[in-house]
Amino acid sequence: MEASKVIHAIYNDDDVLMSAVKKVRAAKHHIEEIYTPFPVHGLDKAMGLEGTRIAICAFLYGLVGLTVAITMMNFIMIEDWPQNIGGKPSFSYIENMPAFVPIMFELTVFFAAHLMVITFYLRSRMWPFKKAENPDPRTTDDHFLMEIGVHGNEDALETLLKETGAVEIKLVDKAH
């Protein structure tokens, strides 16, 4: 198990944090993570994070739901147990498709929503009984924590962070 050092810079204002992120990135330091008590608008852009691809996943999951709906309804209502309901013929799926549209819509939405939630939890590594990774409990209340990797540049980094308005700076050994 390899240990590396990180600096935890704590801020008490989100505007000061945003300014600090921009200055730290301009100085070419790598920000490992930022912990905030609430979503900070524009923070992902300021950190230079890539956009999410969850919309592509949602579309693909919706297609899976639509495919399941069409296959299920064709098997149940046409092949396995055809019934004459209200005088509607059950000779082919295409003839009955207008009646199946609500089911196709609902299963498309159902699969997209549920599989997106599962994907989000897996991608975020948030599974049941997982221990919280929050390094400072104050970040759930009113403080903001910026975690920056240290590569032999602690003094320059600490000076920079003090200039950006950090109220507290700690050097921490972080196990990977």
* Res 175: pLDDT: 67
Packing angle, helices 93-123 and 54-73, rounded to 10? 140
- The least confident of 47-51, 85-89, 110-114 is 85-89
Tell me which residue range forms the domain holding 60.
54-123
Q: What is the CATH number of the domain that holds 159?
A: 3.30.70.260
Q: Are residues 171 and 111 in the same domain?
A: no
What number is the average pLDDT over the span 165-170? 91
Task: For residues 143 and 33, give the distance between their C-alpha atoms in angstroms, rounded to a whole number.
Answer: 14
With respect to residue 137, please indicate whether it lies within any of the assigned structural domains: no
Model confidence pLDDT, tens digit, residues 150-161: 887 888 889 899
Confidence band, pLDDT 50/70/90 cuts, at residue 75: very high
With respect to residue 98, please indicate whether it lies within any of the assigned structural domains: yes
Summary mean pLDDT of the chain: 89
Long-range (24+ apart) CB contacts under 8 A made by 58-61 are 58/112, 58/116, 59/112, 61/111, 61/112, 61/115, 61/116, 61/119
With respect to residue 147, please indicate whether it lies within any of the assigned structural domains: yes
Q: Are residues 58 and 115 in the same domain?
A: yes
Task: For residues 62 and 105, give the distance between their C-alpha atoms in angstroms, rounded to a whole number.
Answer: 9
Model confidence pLDDT, tens digit, residues 52-64: 888 999 999 999 9
Task: For residues 9 and 151, give the distance between their C-alpha atoms in angstroms, rounded to a whole number.
Answer: 16
pLDDT > 90? residue 125: no
* Res 9: pLDDT: 94
Task: For residues 144 and 34, give the distance between their C-alpha atoms in angstroms, rounded to a whole number.
Answer: 7
Q: Are residues 72 and 32 in the same domain?
A: no
Contact 90/78 with Cβ under 8 angstroms?
Answer: yes
Q: Are residues 71 and 11 in the same domain?
A: no
